[in-house]
Structure 1
Amino acid sequence: MLFATVASLLLAGTTLAQTPPGFVPAVEKTLDVYYGTTYISPGLMVKKSSVQKIPVVGVTNATLTGKYLLAMIDIDLQTSGSAKRGTVLHALLTDWTPSGATQNGSSLITTKATGPSSYFGPAPPAETPKHPHNYIFLLHEQPANFAVPASQKSVVQSRMNIDWVKFIADAGLSAPLYATYLQVQSGDNTKRFEFEA
């Protein structure tokens, strides 16, 4: 059963996705993410200063029930001495539930949880040449009595180099239901433009 789940995640990488090209697992349904009144369409380039507070999250044309888990992962960490890029866990938040509120047709979900890993906004370091970092949001159904598995505790605490396919398998999660991503340019330290709060 676990093999079938991992295999289906790998095969999903070839379908139409709301995640960056080549990212696994690929997700077909778009997660609605708003920073203030700005909607994050998949791949939207934004200013670092405009995404430092946790966004509002929801879905369109669907009714969510139960609890959900939200992850935000930077997949473009520059690792010293390597051409391969690593990952940084920017958020892993549990207990998202329907709020009853809407924004531009999105049915919003909310959480009071601040963990297992609290949200921290994008801040890619300067690189030459500049390299946009991709920050992926993934929404999963949250299993009853969810806890970070022992095999993943150190990576969740350090936030560095999380392998999301392995996390899904170790945590017994089903494939993500919704996703989207944004981009922030490396070295973007501008404060000139802010989205509305």
Structure 2
Amino acid sequence: MLFTTVVSSLLLAGSTLAQSTPAGFSPAVNQTLDVYYGTTYITPGLMVKKSTTAKQPTIGLTNVTLSGKYLLAMIDIDRPNGASRGTVLHALLQDFTPSGQTQNGTSILTTKATGPSSYFGPAPPAETPKHPHNYVFVLHEQPANFAVPAAHKNAVQTRMSIDWPKFIADAGLKAPIAANYLQVQSGDNTKRWDA
């Protein structure tokens, strides 16, 4: 009985300390952002089909008191870029606020903003061999005077090659509150057929 309690405690502690960003992503974040595509809850690193991610997800936090405004970025960190990998900005949405609603215990954040960069779902290109792309969600407190820094306007508009650590510094953002990530297989052109 004692052994079971100790093992359960260690597993719980391990899951609490589990990183909510993929290895090598900076800044690393341990607090998990709750991300739902419909009723599908995204656990960090979950592999999903492209069709699942077509519409903007619902986001929020569990066991965290929310107030003020928040900024959400979604970044593909695996864009083919010659022999290396680059980034694609899939969303940069501002003015998220607590909605007062919950989903499965998650305090939901909502926004009416569609920018500075509107959401578009994952669509990794086919590669041989197949390469799953990591799509990282990062949530920050939004400063009262938030604006896209001049040095990053081109990257936000073209969505290519965003340097998130530099963006954080230049925009005067604090460390992320929470993060999460999912994977979509390269070449997953799954279509949803409705009968």
TM-score normalised to the size of structure 1? 0.88
Shift of 1:83: 2.0
Shift of 1:22: 1.1
| Matched-pair contact (CA < 8 Å) for 1:77–1:85 | yes
Corresponding position of 1:57: 59
Q: Map Cα deviations across residues 132-163 of structure 1 (whole Å, 9 max, x no partner).
A: 00000000000002100111101110100101
Q: Map Cα deviations across residues 49-92 of structure 1 (whole Å, 9 max, x no partner).
A: 1101000001001111000000000000001xx32100000000
| Equivalent-residue separation in structure 1 for 2:177 and 2:64 (angstroms) | 11
Q: Which amino acid aligns with 1:179?
A: A
1:25-174 to 2 correspondences below 5 Å:
25-79=27-81, 82-174=82-174
Corresponding position of 2:5: none
| Matched-pair contact (CA < 8 Å) for 1:130–1:187 | yes
Q: Which has the larger radius of gyration?
A: 2
| Matched-pair contact (CA < 8 Å) for 1:48–1:184 | yes
Corresponding position of 1:178: 178
Shift of 1:19: 0.3
Q: Which amino acid aligns with 1:169?
A: A
Q: Which amino acid aligns with 1:184?
A: V
Q: Which amino acid aligns with 2:170?
A: D
| Equivalent-residue separation in structure 1 for 2:152 and 2:135 (angstroms) | 20
Corresponding position of 1:11: none
Shift of 1:184: 0.1
User: Aligned with 1:181: secondary structure?
Assistant: strand
Q: Map Cα deviations across residues 82-105 of structure 1 (whole Å, 9 max, x no partner).
A: 321000000000000000000000
Percentage of identical aligned residues: 75
Corresponding position of 1:4: none
Shift of 1:192: 4.4
| Equivalent-residue separation in structure 1 for 2:184 and 2:157 (angstroms) | 24
**Cα separation, partners in 2 of 1:124 and 1:185, compared to 1, 3 Å:** same
| Equivalent-residue separation in structure 2 for 1:24 and 1:84 (angstroms) | 17
For structure 1, the residue ranges without an aligned partner over 5 or more in a row are 1-14
Shift of 1:17: 1.8
| Matched-pair contact (CA < 8 Å) for 1:65–1:98 | yes
Runs of 4+ displaced beyond 2 Å: none
Shift of 1:193: 7.9
RMSD between aligned alpha carbons? 1.3
